[in-house]
Amino acid sequence: MNTRFLPLVAFALIFTLVLSCKEKGEKPDTKKTPEQIATEALTGTGTAQWTVAGGGSVTRDGQTVTNTYATFELFLNAGTSKTYSTRNAAELFDANGNWSFAGTNFDKIILTGSKPAATREISFTQTGTTLRLEFRIPAPGARVDGNASLSGNYTFNLVKK
């Protein structure tokens, strides 16, 4: 073999080796924005359903009130207009509305509506199949549910349904 073709043959072999190591269908690495990561934590790939039933809990001012919210469910949708709906919210949350992030840290959401939890910053932490929501309903302006005020510091530990 002529030695002047040796570098060309070596280059062709290396090039073939590199191409054969690439996985089929491999896509370029696309970085997600902090907002995309936070949205996926709340809604998965589009819509997520979170519930107290099956291992969740609720506290108000450190006291367990899980029985009041035992069948509470929260549906979050990440579509073009981020929407939510709730079931069995015991006058704390609206039946439906929109949600948005509060600020640019993407660790708090705000729900639209007129119930006590609406327009409040709700801190959230998602770990695996659990979602923790923490928020405060101040006494002035807190709605009365029956004979009891809904004011207080709430912590909802929800499980993915």
* pLDDT tens track for 41-93: 999 888 999 999 999 999 999 999 999 999 999 999 998 889 999 999 988 99
Nearest alpha-carbon partner for 76 in 30, 126, 34, 31: 126
Q: What pLDDT shows up at residue 115? A: 93
C-alpha pair distances (Å), 48 with each of 33, 100, 101, 122, 132: 20, 15, 16, 17, 14
If you average pLDDT over residues 24-46, what whole number do you get? 82
Domains and CATH numbers, the chain: 34-160 (2.40.128)
Query: Average pLDDT, whole number, for the chain?
Result: 86
Residue 129 has pLDDT above 60, yes or no: yes
Least confident of 24-38, 40-54, 103-117, 126-140: 24-38
Q: What's the chain's Rg over C-alpha atoms? A: 25
How does residue 30 score in pLDDT terms, banded at 50, 70 and 90?
confident
Which of 4-13, 118-127, 149-158 is the least confident region?
4-13
pLDDT at 147 over 60: no
Helix (H) or strand (E) run with residue 58 in it: strand 57-60
**Per-residue pLDDT at 44:** 86
**pTM > 0.85:** no
- Give me the pLDDT at residue 93, please: 96
Q: Are strands 73-77 and 47-51 parallel, antiparallel or unpaired?
A: antiparallel
Tally of residues, the chain? 161
Element (H, E) at 149: strand 148-149
How far is the C-alpha of 4 from the C-alpha of 159, rounded, in Å? 68
Query: Per-residue pLDDT tens for 88-118?
Result: 998 899 999 999 999 898 999 999 999 999 9
Q: What is the pLDDT of residue 139?
A: 79
